[in-house]
Each structure stands twice: as C-alpha cells, then as structure tokens.
Chain A
Amino acid sequence: MFGTPSRASTIFSTVTADEVKILDSLAEGFADQLTTLTRGVLGEDTPRFHALNMGSRIRVSPIAENEVVQRIPIRIDGQERLSLSVRYFCCWDGSSTFMATDQADVHLFYQGVPDPLLRYEYVRNSKEPPGAHLQVHAHRDEMAYLLRLADRGRPKQGLRRDKLPRLAEMHLPVGGHRMRPALEDVLLFLQREFAIDTIPGWRAVLDEHLRNWRLMQLKTAVRDAPDAAAQVLRSLGYSVVEPTVPAARQAPEDVKLFWP
C-alpha cells in the first residue's frame, strides 16, 4: 500500500461535527488497515498505526508513547536488522469517500544507521521529480551484507553456491504488472537526472506516448477488475449495465493487476 487513490480536494479550515465523524471513520479505517497489514506480515508486536488529526488533515504513522513517530522493526533470523519509517500525510475534502494522500514516505533503514538504504516516496503535486519515485542511498557494501545475511531463502541459496553478493541481484518493486514504469519514464529519468541530448519537441512526443501507455494499462486493468471499474463509473454518474452473458473471467490468482 503506497497511497490511497488521489483526487482533487479542497482544504477546509473548519470541519463540521458530522464531517469529523466521517473523517474519524476514514482515518481509523486507514490506520487499522496499515496495522493489520504490518502485523499480519511482521508479527503482532509491530507498533500500531495512529492517525493524528487537526482540521481536515491527517498524519498516519506508528507512534511511541511520547507521540514521536516510531520506525517499524524488521528482523532477519530473529535479530532486528532493519527498520521501516512509514508516514502518510492525508487530507479530506469533506465529501469524498476517500482521503487523498498528499505525501507518502516509506524509508528503509539498516539497524542504527540514520542514512536510509532506500526511500520509496509519493508526492501528490509533483511532476518533476515524478510523484512516485524510489531513491537509493545504499552503498554496495551494505546491500551485499544484507543479501547474504539470512540463513534461508535467496540469501542462503547465494551462500550455498558461494556466489559473490551483487547489488544487481536485487529486484526492487516498481508498481506491478499494470502500473509498471515504461520506456517513457526511463527516458524522462535520463533527461531529468543526466540532461541527455534531446531534439526539439521531445517533451510533446514523450507526453503523448506516456499518456497512450498509461491509458492502455488502465484499460487492461479495467479488464482485470471490471466490477471495480463499473462501480467507479456509476459513482461518476455513468449508467453501466452488466452484460447478459458475462465474459469469461480469469481465475483470481491469474489476474495480473493483483500480481506484485
């Protein structure tokens, strides 16, 4: 989970009593969802997420008793080796059924070291740099150590084969089959970070291709989850009628939208 659906919102300076109730329910639901996720994966002793609210804005993160944000400890072979700092900055426009995520930070730290290894971030209003991005701080040595640390799984296999750990072994997730970055994203990255040579009009060409790519992926995602798409269209006022003879559906485990 790296951000709730984003939508345009207005920041209200005052929130009515009824709105407070809805906001409470949305905030509690989101915080509980994150707690369920992290406890269900990392263990029941994982710190709980709390939503801190003032007005129409909310910060969701695990916090300690003194209300300072708390990193989530992660163990390898039973020993605490890593921690995750997870923060969501959300706002609510008083009418939506979603809170919008203004910013989401998921930072991975090696135990005791304040410079993060990786930063997965989302900034809602950002185009440059891209709203969703990954920043790598890690040095080869740190990652190489982690790549062989566990006494099981891929690290163990690598050790057994006496294979030198390499950064290139890591497969960093980038949004799944339907939301993956495209060639257009890579070209933009090269232009932004390295100022590669481009020809006049490059940006228009790139924007058009990026739009086509994203729309194509959206259509494919709709085919993966037509009921969800119909629900959204109805909420937007469209009339959507279910087919008399439903199209053949893939087995749930084969739907690529839900693959990592």
Chain B
Amino acid sequence: MPTVIHKTRGELEEQREQLLAGVHMSYEELAERAATYSLSLRELDVWHTIEGLDYLLDGDS
C-alpha cells in the first residue's frame, strides 16, 4: 500500500457506505453509540475511519 493514497469523492463515499454496512448501523446510530463509548473496539475503529472520511469529504463541499 502506498504511503499517500489518493481518493475521489465517489470512492470515499463508497468506502463510507461499505463501512456502515459492515457494522450494520446507520451513521446516526454509530455516532450516538460512539458518543457514549458503547461501541466495540472494532466498531470504534470504523467510527474513527468514518470521521476521517467525513473530514476529507467536507473539505471539497
């Protein structure tokens, strides 16, 4: 895997959808459970990944 990975908006949005599907939660549910620290560590890693994707997506809006 290269050190710098370039993604398009479409690719990030697709990854985001797949991540949510993988934990069987909506964004809202994941966010709510993250706020109360009631996610498993695996789910928390997914949440942290989605936060990062949203940061990138927000920069281009």
**Among A51-59, A142-150, A166-174, A202-210, the stretch in contact with B:** A51-59
Q: Do A54 and B49 form a contact, CB below 8 Å, given A28-B4, A65-B1, A68-B19?
A: no
User: Min CB distance, A58 to chain B, in Å?
Assistant: 8
Q: Which B14-61 residues sit within 8 Å CB-CB of chain A?
A: 15, 19, 37-41, 43-46, 48-49, 51-53, 55-57, 59-60
Q: Would you call A61 and B6 a contact (CB within 8 A)?
A: no
* Chain B residues whose CB sits within 8 angstroms of the CB of A122 once the complex forms: none
- Asked if A31 meets B56 with Cβ closer than 8 Å, knowing A67-B15, A67-B49, A85-B48, the reply is no
Measured CB to CB, the residues of A under 8 A from B are 11, 13, 20, 24, 27-28, 31-32, 48-59, 61, 63, 65, 67-71, 85, 87, 89, 91, 102-103, 109, 112-116, 137
Given contacts A67-B15, A68-B19, contact A114 B41 (CB under 8 A): yes
Minimal beta-carbon separation of A167 from chain B (angstroms): 20
- Residues in A whose Cβ lies below 8 Å from that of B15: 67
- Supply 20 further A-B pairs (C-beta < 8 A) apart from A54-B7, A59-B56: A28-B3, A32-B3, A50-B3, A51-B5, A52-B7, A53-B4, A53-B56, A55-B60, A57-B56, A57-B60, A59-B55, A61-B48, A63-B1, A67-B15, A70-B45, A87-B48, A102-B55, A103-B55, A115-B37, A137-B37
Q: Which of B7, B43, B51 touches A53 (beta carbons < 8 Å)?
A: B7
Assess whether B37 is in contact with A54, with CB atoms less than 8 Å apart: no
- B7 to A, closest residue via Cβ: A54
Q: Which residues of B contact A27 (CB under 8 A)?
A: 3-4
B34 to chain A, nearest CB (A): 9
Q: Chain B: interface secondary structure? A: helix
Residues of chain B contacted by A31 (CB below 8 angstroms): 3-4
Chain A residues lying within 8 Å of B46, measured Cβ to Cβ, are 68
Contacts of B59 in A (CB 8 A): 11, 54-57, 91
Contact pick for B6, options A53, A63, A112, CB 8 Å: A53
**Distance, CA A20 to CA B7, complexed state (A):** 12
Known: A32-B3, A52-B5, A53-B5. A59 touches B41 (CB 8 A): no
User: What's the Cα separation between A32 and B27 when bound, in Å?
Assistant: 32
Distance (whole angstroms) from the CB of B12 to the closest CB of chain A? 6
User: Can you list 11 A-B pairs, Cβ within 8 angstroms, ordered by A?
Assistant: A32-B3, A50-B3, A52-B5, A53-B4, A54-B6, A54-B8, A63-B49, A67-B49, A69-B45, A71-B45, A87-B52
Contact A52 B52, CB 8 Å, known A68-B46, A71-B45: yes
> Shortest CB–CB separation between residue A182 and chain B, in angstroms?
31
Report the Cα distance A77→B37, complex, angstroms. Answer: 28
Complexed CA–CA distance, A32 and B7 (Å): 19
A51 contact set on B, CB distance < 8 A: 3-5
